[in-house]
Structure 1
Amino acid sequence: MFEFAKKKKSARLIELEAPLKGKTLTLEEVPDPAFSSGTIGKGRAILPSEGKVTAPCPGTVVHIMEKSKHALLLEHETGILILIHVGIETVSLKGEGFYPCVSAGDKVSTGQTLLEFDLEAIAKAGLSPVTPIIIPGGQDLIESVEFKGGTASHEDKPFIRILLKNL
């Protein structure tokens, strides 16, 4: 696992922590074709065991879905974007059960709480809490992306490794 780290020592490597605790899933296991097809980008998903999202790296909060509060976009200091989308079809909850702890424009540190959410409210609505963590496509700086499988926790690092191109 993570073979590219051995191949290119001169290239820039970004290592991200898991932003949630829970069971890791491949994108193909996500019950939403927008994510499972890889159309949005490369990634993994987590079936969360608790309702808390933390920053996987230091960076800036670029965007939080204003009304639904279920998704946010972070920018690493290198400019790489990371999308965290809590649940499937959770936009339909119109923000109920989602409690942002940061705002767009905030600088964050690794492990800082970004968002809390009510797993029970998601379940009562008959929705899936599966949370895709996506490295959106079209980012020219990225050479490759690798992911960890199994379970995810903040102590188990790295969850995602991104190798940047040498420019």
Structure 2
Amino acid sequence: MGIFSNLFGKKKNNTFKQLEIISPISGYIVDLETVPDPVFSEKIAGDGIAIKPSGDQILAPINGTIGKIFKTKHAFSIESENSDLEMFVHFGIDTIKLKGEGFTQIAEEGQKVKKGDLILKYNLSFLEKNAKSTITPVIISNMDEIIELKKVKGKVIAGITIIMYVKK
């Protein structure tokens, strides 16, 4: 069981699933409750973390299939390869108003991806000047199916740092 036996203990017959979610962007984790949008801060869309970004790339946080990439390229959904987890990565607040400016789409809807695959690129300096906030929520939208969620704090590196451990 490795790291999860230490984090979650053991369950009879090992009937639960354990998943590791990696950071889709580099930066620093901030509390979801501090995001300047109640849809995220009040966990209406689900639970997770938020990241104050650095860098210029948004990567796949899990192995899975890209669901929806918004026409404005500021957000996408992804479903894990075994349909265990539904996630939503939303770059910034009110970035929808920029109509795609500052973003470049790399992946396509319906595309199968592995952790760390490039989904979107962004121009951080442009977005810092033109968006209400660049804080990026990384949300699990099917929280009703999650038994336990452990969140990491601190500096994160896209494609490398584990940001959440999920027991399902």
| 1:163 and 2:137 correspond | no
| Aligned with residue 8 of structure 1, among 5, 8, 11 | 11
How far apart, CA to CA, are the structure 2 residues paired with 1:35 and 1:146? 18
The alpha carbon displacement at 1:8 in A equals 3.4
The alpha carbon displacement at 1:139 in A equals 4.3
| Aligned with residue 62 of structure 1, among 63, 67, 73 | 67
1:90 aligned partner, one-letter code? T
Deviations 1:120-167 (A, max 9, x none): 111221521110000014543x212211011111333x2111111xxx
How many residues were matched structurally? 161
1:2-151 → structure 2 map (5 Å cutoff)? 4-8=7-11, 10=14, 11-66=16-71, 68-79=72-83, 80-137=85-142, 139-140=144-145, 142-151=146-155
Runs (5+) with no aligned partner, structure 2: none
Runs (5+) with no aligned partner, structure 1: none
Deviations 1:35-92 (A, max 9, x none): 00111110100001112111111110011002x1100000002211110000110000
Q: Secondary structure at the match of 2:147?
A: strand
| Aligned with residue 152 of structure 1, among 138, 156, 165 | 156
Identity %: 34
Q: Secondary structure at the match of 2:9?
A: helix
1:70 aligned partner, one-letter code? H
Q: Would you say the 8 A contact 2:64–2:78 is kept in 1?
A: yes
- Give the structure with the larger helix fraction: 2
Extract structure 1 runs of 4+ deviating beyond 2 A: 2-9, 137-140
How far apart, CA to CA, are the structure 2 residues paired with 1:23 and 1:42? 17
